[in-house]
């Protein structure tokens, strides 16, 4: 049962914190492609994901914002377009929205623009631009929005209104609130004695799974892996990354050691979602590395947070861990969250022609501890 300041049995306990409710509803609207109204300091702005903007929608949005519609881009996207001087979001003004180049940007035609530079004038975006971009990111959309001040005639729109503070505070408020909703034993090929514990909550109210392997002893540091979901690697054995290997070898090591906990985190594509990961893969086929591709889409180096993973471990009774990872940020995040990381074990995958660039980029750009020469090679495939 969740706790509520209003107590059980009251109406407030049914609806919970109004800021959270507001933000969660706005995320759902954004995912469905409907514009929302952002309210900040007494001003109202209409905001829509740039993903859905065809010519008709663009014209309608421009009308509803009194001809003051802007395309707002993140600093990461601006860097990728050759404008590294901006550390904050900047906007392309309404007057430029009709240009073919900007139309391509709105249509998210990365291929034509990456590396070509952006010559258009940039202007300071509307006051709520950062919250608008955050909303798009929380909704797993591309971080690019169309927005402008709501024209007085548009005040009767059937759009959801959300306060900018509800969005900007959402991550902090929501992220570490997770609760166990179900659990059951699931025997695995590599580890017969496993229990799957399903949590719900965190950013986006997703389901997060803890796999308790064997019988880890909470009185001693416990082997732990935080594993971000990777549909392609974990399930299909994609050769582009090392995730599937890491998933299976860490579970096997835990079983061999007598116990451990693997957290399977709903953070596909480093938290950007599977759609954005495939966009990034497309750009990688055109020659970019994994981080350059994310930057071209508008994402920073790595947007994942792991504080809710610490909350999951705590609820399971584990405070001291030996972390199986090559990623220094995972160690730092658990330590920041107050867990004791008593040791680190490397999580080895295999290397091959298809993932060597990915592994090297993780080592060189994100500081992962990876000795590529020490990794096993993928065996040659028999077909395909
Ligand atoms: N955005 C994006 N995500 C990717 C790409 N390739 C793999 N991923 C995702 O990267 C994440 C990798 O997760 P993990 O293996 O837990 O993390 P890691 O940061 O590599 O750290 P360790 O494996 O613990 O060393 C998964 O969510 C993958 O889906 C890519 O090219 N772009
Ligand atoms: Zn992967």
- Let me know: does 50 contact 58? Beta carbons within 8 Å: no
For ligand 1, whether the C-beta of 250 sits within 6 Å is no
**226 with 318: CB under 8 angstroms?**
no
Alpha-helix runs per DSSP H in 139-183: 164-168, 170-175
Q: Where are the domains of the chain?
A: 16-169, 178-267+304-374
Other Cβ atoms within 10 Å of 122 Cβ, number: 19
Q: What is the pLDDT of residues 10-51, one digit of tens each?
A: 777 777 778 888 999 999 999 999 999 999 999 999 999 999
User: 226 labelled as ligand-binding?
Assistant: yes
Ligand 1 touching residue 349 (CB < 6 A): no
235 close to 266: Cβ distance less than 8 angstroms: no
* Ion ligand 2: residues, Cβ under 5 Å: 230, 233, 241, 243
Closest CA to 39 of 63, 19, 62, 69: 19
Task: Name the class of domain 178-267+304-374.
Answer: alpha beta
Cα–Cα dist 356/191, whole Å? 29
Ligand 1, atom 20, lies closest to the CA of 327
In the chain, the percentage of residues whose pLDDT exceeds 70 is 94
Q: Is 269 near ligand 1, meaning CB less than 6 Å away? A: yes
- Res 77: pLDDT: 92
Predicted local distance difference test score (pLDDT) of residue 381: 55
Q: What does the pLDDT read at residue 30?
A: 96
Ramachandran angles phi, psi of 197, nearest 5°: -115, 120
Integer Rg of the chain from CA? 23
% of the chain exceeding 90 in pLDDT: 76
Average pLDDT, stretch 334-359? 96
Beta bridge partners of 194: 213
- 85 is annotated as contributing to ligand binding: no
Ligand nearest to the CA of 329: 1
- The answer to whether residue 1 scores a pLDDT higher than 50 is no
Asked if the interface predicted TM-score (ipTM) of this complex is over 0.85, the answer is: yes
State yes or no: pLDDT of 171 exceeds 80. no
Which one, of 161, 125, 133, lies nearest residue 39 by Cα?
161
Please state the pTM of the whole predicted model.
0.91
Q: What span, in angstroms and rounded, lies between the C-alpha atoms of 202 and 309?
A: 9
**CA of 325, closest atom in ligand 1:** 24
User: Catalytic positions, please?
Assistant: 302, 304
**Do the beta carbons of residue 95 and residue 81 sit within 8 Å?**
no
Q: Residue 5's Cα: distance from chain center in Å?
A: 30
Answer yes or no: are the C-beta atoms of 336 and 349 closer than 8 Å. no
User: Domain 16-169 - what CATH class?
Assistant: alpha beta
Kindly tell me if the per-residue pLDDT of 333 is higher than 70.
Answer: yes
Where are any strands of DSSP class E within 143-270?
A: 144-149, 161-163, 178-185, 194-201, 206-214, 222-228, 259-265
Other Cβ atoms within 10 Å of 263 Cβ, number: 22
């Amino acid at each position: 049962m969740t706790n509520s300041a209003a107590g059980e049995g009251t109406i407030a306990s049914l609806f919970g914190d109004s800021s959270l409710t507001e933000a969660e509803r706005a995320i759902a609207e954004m995912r469905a492609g409907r514009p929302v109204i952002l309210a900040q300091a007494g001003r109202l702005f209409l905001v829509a994901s740039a993903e859905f903007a065809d010519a008709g929608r663009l014209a309608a949005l421009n009308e509803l914002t009194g001809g003051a519609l802007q395309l707002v881009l993140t600093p990461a996207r601006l860097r990728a377009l050759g404008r590294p001087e901006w550390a904050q979001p900047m906007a392309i003004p309404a007057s430029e929205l009709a240009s073919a180049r900007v139309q391509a940007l709105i249509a998210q035609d990365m291929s034509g623009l990456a590396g070509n530079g952006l010559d258009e004038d940039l202007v300071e975006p509307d006051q709520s631009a950062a919250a608008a971009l955050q909303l798009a990111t929380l909704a797993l959309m591309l971080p690019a929005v169309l927005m402008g001040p709501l024209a007085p005639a548009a005040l009767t729109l059937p759009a959801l209104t959300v306060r900018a503070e509800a969005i900007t505070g959402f991550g902090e408020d929501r992220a570490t609130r997770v609760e166990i909703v179900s659990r059951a034993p699931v025997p695995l090929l590599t580890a017969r004695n496993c229990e799957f514990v399903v949590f719900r909550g965190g950013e986006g109210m997703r389901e997060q799974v803890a796999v308790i392997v064997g019988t880890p002893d909470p009185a001693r540091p416990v082997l732990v892996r935080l594993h971000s979901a990777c549909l392609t690697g974990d399930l299909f054995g994609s050769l582009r990354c090392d995730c599937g290997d890491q998933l299976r070898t860490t579970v096997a090591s835990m079983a061999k050691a007598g116990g451990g906990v693997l957290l399977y985190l709903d953070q596909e594509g480093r938290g950007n979602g599977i759609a954005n990961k495939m966009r990034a893969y497309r750009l990688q086929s055109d020659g970019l590395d994994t981080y350059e591709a994310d930057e071209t889409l508008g994402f920073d180096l790595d947007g994942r947070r792991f504080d809710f993973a610490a909350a999951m471990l705590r609820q399971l009774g584990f405070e001291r861990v030996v972390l199986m990872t090559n990623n220094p940020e995972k160690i730092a995040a658990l330590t920041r969250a107050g867990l004791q990381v008593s040791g680190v074990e490397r999580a080895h995958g295999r290397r091959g022609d298809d993932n060597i660039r990915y592994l090297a980029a993780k080592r060189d750009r994100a500081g992962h501890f990876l000795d590529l020469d020490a990794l096993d090679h993928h065996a040659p495939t028999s077909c395909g």
